[in-house]
Chains A and B, each alone.
Chain A
């Protein structure tokens, strides 16, 4: 079988293959309907092509644990550039990495009423105030409640919980509403 192959009736095999694989219409339907060579070739191509299509329909399952392995590597790469806040303590200092605080902020914001998705960034640490964090949030909010009310609700939750959970002082909370999602 080659690209240039022609049937004894002169029909190019390429045209028949395009018909079978791409669903293109026959170039000469009247000829095809009455030509035994075309019909035999079509039957042959359709039978084999059906096997390719059957393989395409076979479900492929992603192996268990693959996502966890991918994310372990990503987290390792992300850790290489990690800031932290420093909390005063009587017997030594406690460092809480921005990554950990960002995760608290993101989870709390994502769970706030009216929020469909939250992404949090912490501003680079201020060496003069090493226990303070400034946060920038991007939210996708659900359709319905006013954006300002949702944003204020997020600020209240963060102000209440971030110091309690992390020990860090919460400074600025800048919020961008990036999109609105359907409920």
Chain B
């Protein structure tokens, strides 16, 4: 039903309390929200919690959504902030545990061993980045956001975005070299 319907129409309906319209928005954007949460947090359990909270917060904040940005930019903003809160609240031991959880879950029997190990090494490298760099890298490399969009989501300038991404890339590549 909602495949051809603009986000703007669904948002307008949801702002009036239409939960079906909101569900259509959830179905349309859940993959991106969950993906960002998973790549930022490393833990599927935490990613589920954050995805749930992101949409609950979005529902509560719908009336104040002015449609100056797109729905996905707005949701990226909410999920990123929530992930940064979770990262900030984590102890180093919890961070390590989250990484281990992802390592265990991503290894499938049919997966080529080397390929699997390389992907896990990237995952671990990302999980060791500071939260702000992690957010910038995930949104850029995994979600394909432009620098301009990233500046809007992260609330910083485009040059600052570029700096963060560059530092994040270098740190990841450095860890990949050390891993090899």
- The contact string, 1 if C-beta is below 8 Å from chain B, for chain A 90-102, is 0000000001001
A-B pairs with beta carbons under 8 A, tally:
135
Determine whether the beta carbon of B166 is less than 8 Å from that of A75: no
B2 on the A face (CB < 8 A): yes
Determine whether the beta carbon of B173 is less than 8 Å from that of A116: no
Taken together as a complex, chains A and B put the C-alpha atoms of A147 and B22 apart, in Å, by 25
Task: With A51-B119, A140-B9, A181-B5 as known contacts, state yes or no: A120 contacts B18, CB within 8 Å.
Answer: yes
Interface size class of B (residues with CB under 8 A): 35 or more
Determine whether the beta carbon of A74 is less than 8 Å from that of B59: yes
Taken together as a complex, chains A and B put the C-alpha atoms of A2 and B173 apart, in Å, by 11
Kindly list chain B residues whose C-beta atoms are within 8 Å of the C-beta of A120.
Answer: 18
A174 on the B face (CB < 8 A): no
Q: Please, could you name 26 A-B residue pairs with CB atoms under 8 Å apart, sorted by A?
A: A1-B177, A2-B170, A3-B167, A13-B170, A17-B169, A45-B173, A51-B176, A54-B119, A55-B142, A62-B30, A62-B34, A66-B30, A69-B52, A71-B22, A74-B22, A74-B23, A75-B19, A77-B60, A78-B17, A116-B4, A117-B9, A119-B18, A119-B21, A121-B16, A138-B9, A140-B4
Known contacts A21-B169, A66-B48; 14 further A-B pairs (Cβ under 8 A): A48-B177, A54-B119, A56-B142, A58-B119, A60-B31, A60-B34, A62-B51, A63-B44, A67-B30, A70-B52, A71-B26, A116-B5, A121-B17, A179-B5
